[in-house]
Amino acid sequence: MIYPSVREGVFLARPNRFIAQVELGGKTEICHVKNTGRCKELLIPGAEVFLSEADKPGRSTKYDLVAVRKAERLINMDSQAPNKVFLEHLRSGRYMQEVDHIKPEAKYGGSRFDFYVEAGERKVFIEVKGVTLEEGGVALFPDAPTLRGVKHLNELAGCVREGYEAHVVFVIQMAGALYFAPNDATHPAFGEALAAAMASGVKATALDCFVAPDRLEIKGSVPVHIRR
């Protein structure tokens, strides 16, 4: 996916989870943050950030904050991007071959999964999670407790019991991760649910990305490490 009209700025402050103050061209600009997560390890004063100009009349902010540089690594932090780049990846045939049908926002039980896919005889529910947290080269999810994430994993396991395939895909919004792991220090219940889901037949995949200020593309898979 490609972002239009990207400009480089310097992060100053985040008054609330929806907006950030950014120095842009010597002026302070109020920008929309396309990620409502905490992102405390990313959005620190002085960080180099990248803004995409929004082409929507009537908006209160002119720019979206879409990426940030952490040391030598550029991290995309647009929470809408993982689904978009995974859909591109899915349509390319690189994730799954012979795809006949793709339905976004597919309801199953008490959950709404990101995709339902049919490929020949295969019927697959897929949930996508964006990953922006990195520690020591390891990509971690979640960055905050997520009861919704645990519910998704439990219901993916339910899909398997009903005869469907079920996948959870972690789109790592950066390049160069050594491997992916659940963030047990922050939310051990998510790691436990992931291990249980995988034991029941849910496929877990982690995909890293090529990140540039104006684009995001899936590169390939990285190992998934969980507690057993």
Peptide bond into 145 cis (omega under 30): no
The contacts of residue 100 (CB under 8 Å, 6+ apart) are: 118, 119, 120
pLDDT at 11: 97
Q: What are the pLDDT digits (tens) for 112-170? A: 999 999 999 999 999 999 999 999 999 999 999 999 999 999 999 999 999 999 999 99
Averaged pLDDT score across all residues of the chain: 94
3-state SS class at 222: strand
Separation of alpha carbons 110 and 148, rounded Å: 11
CA–CA distance from 194 to each of 88, 166, 175, 227 (Å)? 25, 12, 23, 9
84-104 confidence digits (pLDDT tens) = 999 999 999 999 999 999 999
- Per-residue model confidence (pLDDT) at position 131: 97
Q: What are the pLDDT digits (tens) for 213-228? A: 999 999 999 999 997 5
pLDDT at 23 over 90: yes
Structure tokens at 111: 């959950």
Q: Does the predicted model carry a pTM greater than 0.85?
A: yes
Distance CA 145, CA 51 (A): 28
The span from the CA of 69 to the CA of 35, in Å, is 15
**What's residue 228's pLDDT?**
58
Q: Return the SS3 of 153.
A: helix
Q: Say if residue 43's pLDDT is above 90.
A: yes
Answer for the pair 59, 88: CB distance below 8 angstroms, yes or no. no
Q: What is the pLDDT of residues 57-72, one digit of tens each?
A: 778 899 999 999 999 9
